[in-house]
Every structure is written in C-alpha cells, then in structure tokens.
A and B are shown apart, each in its own frame.
Chain A
Amino acid sequence: MTVAPEREEYDVVVIGAGPAGLAAAATSSEAGLSTLLLDENVGPGGQVFRAIDSTPVTERNQLGADYWVGAELVQALRASDAEVIHRATVWSLDRNLDIAVSIGGASAFVKAKRVILATGALERPFPIPGWTLPGVMTAGAAQTMLKSSALVPDGPTVIAGQGPLLWLLAAQILRLGGRIDRILDTTERGNYFAALPHAFAFLTSPYFTKGLSMMREVKAKVQVVSGVTELSASGDGQLASMSYVAGGKREIIPADLLLLHQGVVPNVNLAMAAGIEHRWDDLQLCWSPVLDASGHSSVAGIAIAGDGAGIGGANAAVVRGRIAARAAVEALAPAAAAKLPAMASLRADLAKAERGRVFLDTLFRPAPQFRIPAGDTIVCRCEEVTAKDILDAVAIGATGPNQLKAYRRTGMGPCQGRLCGLTVTELMAQARGKSPQEIGYYRLRAPVKPITLAELAAVPKSEDDIKAVVRG
C-alpha cells in the first residue's frame, strides 16, 4: 500500500529512522512541531537497530543489550504525533528545502522549514583483488540478513578486516549457530601504539568492557590471525579461496563466503547533493559535513545528526538527534523549547557518548594498502575501472574525481560513488602528491537513488506543462 505524506509542508522533516532520526523526530514532535520522518527501510531502526520491531531473533542475548535500546526509541516515537513513512526513499533535497521522495513507486514533493538529515553511515570500500567476486560481501550486508531473517553462513566462511562492528558481527553469527572458519585481522600493529595516548578515555568508556568481552567470546571459538598485511580473493566466477599474508608468510585457504569490513564512513550523498559543505577528516579518513555545535550545516535550515555528521556510534547519534531537533524547536517554536532538556545537558551527554572515539578511530584506522589499491584491482565496480586506469588518467591530466569522469566514467554508475568515491579521492591524492581535501570529491546530483522514468513521468504536472511551451 502506498502512503503519501499527509501534507505538502512540515515544520521538520527528518530523513532516516536510525538512532539519530528516531530521537530527532520524537523530540521535534513532542515539542509540537509538525514532523515527518521518512525512512528507506521497511521498519524503524536504521542499520544498528535494523528490524528492531520485527526481528525473528527473540533471545535478547543473541543480538546484545545495545541492540534492544532501539526498542525504547521506537516507543518514544510511536507515542509522539510524528508522521512516519517507511519504504520512503528521499531522492532529492535542495537548498530551498524542497524534498522529493519515492514511496511505493510513486514520487511526492514536500517542503520543510527545517530538515534533519540522519542518513547514517556506509561501510568503507574495501578494494582488494577479487572483492567484486560473487561470494564476497560486506559485513554489514551479512548483518542485515542476520537481523532481518536470522540467516547465518554455513559454508567455509572468512571474515577479514577490523573495527568494532566486525567483532560484533562475528559474535552475533556465532551466537546464532553460524560458521566462521577464520578471522583475518588487518589492524596495523603500529596503530596500537598510536592509540595508546587516547587509551584512558577509552578505558573509562562503555565501549571498553563490552568490546573486550566480545573479542574474548569470538577468539574462544574461531582462529584469529592478526597483523594481516595483504588480502586477496580468487575464484572462477565465484569465490573459491582467500590468500593472505601475516607476519611475512602467505597462506591460502578455501572460502565460499568472505565478509569484508574496515569501518564505516558518513553517508554523504544526500547532504552533498543538497550543496552542504564537507571537509576531509584526516583521522577518520572520510568526508564529514561542516557543522556547528547544533549540527547545523552550511545550507540554511538543514542539520545533520548521527553518523552522517561524522562517525560517533549509536549512543552519540541519539544525542545528536536530540540536539538537532532542539535547535529546530528553538528556531521555530522557542516557547516549546523550554520543555525540552537543556542544550547544555545534551552537550554533556554527547561528550560522554563520544568518549573513547578517538582511541577507536586511531586503533582502527585502516592501513593504506587496504584503502588505496594498485594495478588491476577494481576501484569503480559500476564501470569496471581499475586502479591502473585511474593512474593512467592522472598521468595524462585528470586532476580530481570530477575531471576523471571525462576520462573514465568513475562514479557515474548506479552507486553514485558510494563504492568508489573515497578510494578515488585517496588514490588520486597519493598519485598527485596532494591532500584529499585538495583533490576533492565527486559533485553529487539528484536523484540520489535512481527512480524510474515512469515514476518521474507520473508526478503532478507543473504550470509549464499545462501551458505546453512550444520550442522557439
């Protein structure tokens, strides 16, 4: 069934129903603002709380206590008057705060006085040789299957990469009876030393004990190879084996399924397409929007909360959602803001939630060889462009990702750069001896997610159309 937005204009439109979006929409609505929450998934939760009100996994311990926090957020939202539409893909947002959204195959346009983007994170590309083979997928994709359908791997399975989510996924797979043959940990040894100065904050953060016990739980059941410096997947049209180097020794093992993960990065596509300024983050190695303390972006009226504002994790996302919503309330209905928690206390909550983040970012900073591929390794999957192709284009004058489009169609396929953008920026920066900030990123344009021609043709007619303008 198709549910169109009830109104043409709202005080606040929140995009994304993960932790930040759920919190933002509930806060904004509780303060009396007309609020619309648009979300792409079938139900609330985003990635971290995916399928929170529909998962077949009922034993709470299997997905962990952190997961079930999402249920409280959903309850708060449901108790509010916010209008919530799922399976709603926002495909355009511009600086006039005009929003185009596709719901059940039909597009509608709505206008907002304030927009809170809570579009979360994406997994960082992991461009190793063979990463495009069937049988290789991201850990996030595996987790989606696990949460929504309780599906876990049962053939020879290897997990490679690093980061907190990798260990969480491994623990979840094992708890649900899934199979993992080996974990190849790509954390650079030097990162442990680099992260040490930030360890105190981490030790006093909630991540520490949880993370440690999860790693212990996994290591008790699976062989973990640390210090992996090289990875490649191979097979004839289908993944058959994995090759890796650890401690200078190469080993080849059979695998049906390879799950890759080396952290998450802000999902910037909609924000960039709206014209919001982003900067390169040298620690997190990704683009992050330029925001003020309330999450407000360079485009008037648009705020960003959650991991889309820079990776901070679910707890920080919830607080950022509340901060952005409170700022919207302050602007649109100042009297109602008095009823909400004070901004100062929200900011204190945020500082607490972000404690330990620098340690994690430093420890799990992906190694260059896993971010910047060489030779025949595919960079752009949509157009099958290799690292060598890109270096060749640089050699004859391509200076940045947008210029590269003139030589190679990188970033012009259906993924709109989600799977290649960071790689292209870093690869070109390295080749040209420039910083990623100087090299820049693809200019992104709507539709941020493809829509069918038929769907666009079916939107309500404009005045232009009615006048049937004749070519001069």
Chain B
Amino acid sequence: MTKNVDAIVVGGGIHGCSTALHLCLAGLKPVLIEKDYAGRHASGVNAGGVRQLARHIPEIPLSIRSMEIWEKISDLLDDDCSFESYGQVLVAENEEELAICRARVTELNALGFTHEELIDTAELRRLVPAVAETCPGGVVSRRDGAANPAQATTAFRRKAEQLGATVREGVAATNIRHTDSLWHVDVGAESFAAPVLVNAAGAWAGTIAATLGEPVPVETVAPMLMITSRVPHFIGPVVILRGRKLSFKQFENGTVLIGGGHLATPYQDRNETVLDWKSLATSARTVFELFPVMRDATIMRAWAGIEAKTKDDLPVFGPSSRHKGLYHQFGFSLHGFQLGPGAGAVMAELIVNGGTQTRVGDLGIERFYSPTL
C-alpha cells in the first residue's frame, strides 16, 4: 500500500531535516527517510562550525541566508542548538599569507560582501590572545560561531516531525523510481509516492544521482576531528589557519575541538571509518606550536564522519537537469553544516515557488555537464 505525501526527502542529515522542516512550514507534508538515524553521519559529528568565513564565492549567498536563520535558531526550533557567536578568525602565520587575506577581502568587498574583515596583529591578539606572537594578522567574520552539530540536526528532525513530517529512521530508501509523474520509494515494507523527491543523502547521494542518470564527480571522505579534556577558558572565536590544515574551537565547558580536514579512511558500507593517527599527530603538532597552553591537555576521543566531496568542492544544489520533481542537495564537501538551515529554506522555496531570491545558480548539477548534452 503506497502512502501519498507531498515530498520525499532522502537523508536525515541537517540538510534533509532542514528541508523537511521548511517544507512543513510551507504547508507541505513530507516524509523524511534516514537509513540510520538523523545526524548519524557527518551532520551529527562534524566540528559544528557556523562559518561564513573563507567560503567559496558561489556559496556565500546561501551561507549569508543561513546565518540569518542561525542567529534566530531558537525561534525556529525551540532549541538553541548550543549556538554561540564569538566570531571565526582566519590566522595568517606570515606576511605572504596576510597578503592573500588582503586580496581576498578586497575581492569580496568588490562583490558587495562585507562579512569578512581584514585584521592586523593587534586585533588578532585581542581576539585570540593565545595565538603565537609571530602571526601578523588575518581575517575575522564576527557574526560566525559554532553550534552542537548532533543537537542541531536532532532539533531540526524533531521540529519537522512536530510540524507534520513523517520520519522513518533505521530503514533505507530503496527502489527509487519515477512513474506516472510521481516519485516512488520503498522503505522496508512501506512505499511512499510524491511529486517531489529531494536527494539529500550525503555520502550516499552520489549513487542515487547516478542511478537516476545524473552522475557527478563525487567521492566519499571522512574528515577527522579530535576533542581534548577541559582546559581553562582561553579562546572565544573559532580559529582556522590560512596556511595549514587546522581548525580550533574551545567550547563553553572548556573542551577543545581540533579539526582541519585531515582524512580518515571511510568504509561506507559498514558505516565505519579508520582513523589515521599520523595525520592527527600533524594537527597535534600544529596546536602544540601555536597554543602552548594546550600542551598538557589530553586527547579524549577522535572520530570522523562520512560525507560527500565534489570535484570542485561546491555542493550540488537545486533541481535535477533531467527529471521533473527531483532536487539535489548534497556534496557539501566538508563545509555543509552551517549551510543546512538556509539550504533547507531555499530548497523549500525552489520546490514550492519554483524559484528563490537567494543566488544559488552556480551550484546546480548542470555545471558538470557540457552545454551540448
């Protein structure tokens, strides 16, 4: 027996959950299908950075849209998602890096974006007193911050369900097909049908797209993170480095999250990752050099979440180039968490209104196909 709904959202990451929620807000009744549980993979276990800083230009409008939602996240979700806004700082470790920062801020300003601000060494040291004295400056995005990723993803899921979304967790969406102008999906013994299908399946989305005749250059990656024991509060903003792979965030409880994009080996079929401790040691060395205060902290745990990374590091976002009613929302390439709230809102606009005021045209799947095809 097939249940008819307004939209089928495949994938219970922050993107799928946010889209389901925004579809509910627009008056639709979606079903959200997650093969594990909401936030099981990258959405629930990422660094939680709520960052507009240092983004690729084509996704900045989406990021700005998202930021507006993050700043009022409690109004939307009745949950603060532990969002806090102490800014994010990109540190230049030498003059060459600072020159790159300067060029970047100039470029953004010319495009009308003002969220990134060049800072000198004095302002850098005011914002991040613990940073090594040799750093000449950097860039700050003052409204940025961080949230608890599992809490946030779960809160989106919960609110979507409260507003009428049907949620199916622990069973994969299978046998996705388009017949009689409707998308059909099997979920265990159940079947759902809807005029709209949103492919927000993260690391599994590339396979879905390929199965539906829209292959894209996407790989599965698993960026690693580690968290330390509590240390006395010494840093407010999230810090990322211009020249080395490092991101750094101290939470209110004193624990410090160390990330930066070193990769584990993903075993997607088993929902498993094998960590690369030699790469994590590189991150540890960088922290050791930059933040002497951290040297005696202990590493409590390290992990990695499985996600999709595209060839051009930009998400695949928007309507299918082949099928009516199919929308893609995946491939966020290690920086999708902050985009989740805004992407869900924009996706709902694309589905319900057929268009959006937010500029997302450069993110479409058609960029991977030559115009002659």
Contact = CB atoms under 8 A, between A and B. Distances in A.
A406 B44 contact: yes
B298 A450 contact: yes
A454 B294 CA distance: 8
Contacts of B359: none
B296 interface: yes
Contacts of B169: 399
B242 interface: yes
B303 interface: yes
A461 interface: yes
A471 B277 contact: no
A90 B355 CA distance: 55
B284 A471 contact: no
B86 interface: no
Contacts of B217: none
A396 B159 CA distance: 11
A465 B288 CA distance: 14
A457 B272 contact: no
A383 to B, nearest CB: 9
Interface string B282-303: 1011011000001111111111
Contacts, number: 125
A148 to B, nearest CB: 25
Given A109-B277, A471-B245, A416 B154 contact: no
A173 interface: no
Contacts of B44: 406
A456 interface: yes
Contacts of A95: 272, 274
A451 B150 contact: no
A470 B243 contact: yes
A114 B338 CA distance: 43
Interface string B212-227: 0000000000000001
Given A447-B300, A454-B288, A275 B278 contact: no
Q: Using C-beta atoms within 8 Å of the partner chain, give the interface range for chain A.
A: 35 or more
Most buried by B among A94, A402, A453: A453
Given A406-B150, A452-B297, A96 B302 contact: no
Nearest to B298: A450
Interface in A406-461: 406-407, 409, 412-414, 416, 445-447, 450-454, 456-457, 459-461
B299 A450 contact: yes
Contact of A464 (B227, B242, B282, B299): B282
Nearest to A109: B277
A272 B261 CA distance: 25
A163 to B, nearest CB: 31
B177 interface: no
Contact of A456 (B40, B262, B284): B284
B282 A454 contact: no
Given A452-B297, A470-B243, A403 B284 contact: no
Contacts of B276: 462
Given A406-B148, A452-B298, A446 B229 contact: no
A465 B285 contact: yes
Nearest to B263: A464
B288 A457 contact: yes
Contacts of A399: 37, 169
